[in-house]
Amino acid sequence: MSTYVMTDIHGHYDAMKCMLDKIGFCEEDRLICAGDYIDRGPKSYEMLRWMENPGKNVILVRGNHDEEFRLCVKAMGMVFLKCGLETADVDDTISVYQMVRQISSYFDMYGTMGKLIKERGTAFDQLSGWAQCIGKMPYFYEMMINGRRCIVVHAGYVEGLGCLEGREMDDSYDSLEDFYLKARDDAYIYGGVEHGMIIAGHTPTTAIDELPFNHGNVYRAYDEKLDCVFYDLDCGYVFNSIGPEAKLACLRLEDERVFYL
């Protein structure tokens, strides 16, 4: 049995399936996905359908894009409740979507929900089902691998917000969940666990102005003080049309072998 980690698939359903074929993923193996299943890429619908039943040996961790989708659905739900509209009706779903879109420019920033509704005929009931699926996802997943405490999280992991007090950080965090979903350089400077391993994504290693920049290859760092290994597996695949270095990466935890597509 092998344990694999992927992240930041961003609607590239076909590429994900190709990677699973490449690593020879089977029922005896375990796959942990570290979030951001949707937005930007061409097949968010297929990813959402896959998320409904990915398999007993697949663990889905929540990403910031997934959480934003959930919150957008929640906002639509409030309008449905107030207006007394039919949640199973596509026309009512379009009306509510347009109302909320006019209220907030941040609502459905990547247009994923709009495409699902208008191109797929997706009613609010289905959107709500996917939102509930996301709401059940953990913010991180922890296991022991080769005697190390291994944590898979979307952006970064810290034991508590108290660890960040008095620090000069790139961002501010109102909760631990904020850090799990949104931390970038702070995840590597202030995060980590003693004698452990943190596997994350979120920050593309194609981003030249970010700490984990590594020309589209997996970023690996080691903190001697904590005896902690850090991995960033987001190799920017979603930007592969404009960045030739961008890749989809998969890490096998038992031997830390990296696979690329």
- How many angstroms separate the CA atoms of 231 and 251, rounded? 9
Structural domain spans, the chain: 3-63+137-260, 66-135
Burial class (CB in 10 A: 0-12, 13-18, 19+), 98: exposed
In this prediction, residues 207-234 reach a mean pLDDT of: 97
The pLDDT tens digits of the residues spanning 73-95 come to 999 999 999 999 999 999 999 99
> Are residues 39 and 65 in contact, defined by beta-carbon separation less than 8 angstroms?
yes
For the chain, what percent of residues have pLDDT higher than 90? 92
Domain 3-63+137-260, classified CATH 3.60.21.10, yes or no: yes
Sign of CA pseudo-dihedral 5, 217, 19, 63: positive
Check residue 167 and give its pLDDT: 85
Whether this model's pTM surpasses 0.85 = yes
- How many angstroms separate the CA atoms of 106 and 91, rounded? 22
For residue 133, give the nearest of 81, 203, 58 by alpha carbon.
Answer: 58
Q: Which residue has the tokens 């922890």?
A: 142
For residue 115, give the nearest of 79, 82, 69, 80 by alpha carbon.
Answer: 69
Check residue 244 and give its pLDDT: 87
SS in 3 state form for the chain? CCEEEECCCCCCHHHHHHHHHHCCCCCCCEEEECCCCCCCCCCHHHHHHHHHCCCCCEEECCCHHHHHHHHHHHHHHHHHHHHCCCCCCHHHHHHHHHHHHHHCCCCCCCCHHHHHHHHHCCCHHHHHHHHHHHHCCCCEEEEEECCEEEEEECCCCCCCHHHHCCCCCCCCCCCHHHHHHHCCHHHHHCCCCCCEEEEECCCCCCCCCCCCCCCCCCEEEEECCCCEEEEECCCEHHHCCCCCCCECEEEECCCCEEEEC
- How many angstroms separate the CA atoms of 169 and 164, rounded? 8
The pLDDT tens digits of the residues spanning 88-144 come to 999 999 999 999 999 998 999 999 999 999 999 999 999 999 999 999 999 999 999
Residue 165 has pLDDT above 90, yes or no: no
Check residue 24 and give its pLDDT: 97
- How many angstroms separate the CA atoms of 169 and 152, rounded? 22
- How many angstroms separate the CA atoms of 27 and 13, rounded? 19
Q: Which residues contact 78 (CB under 8 A, 6 or more apart)?
A: none
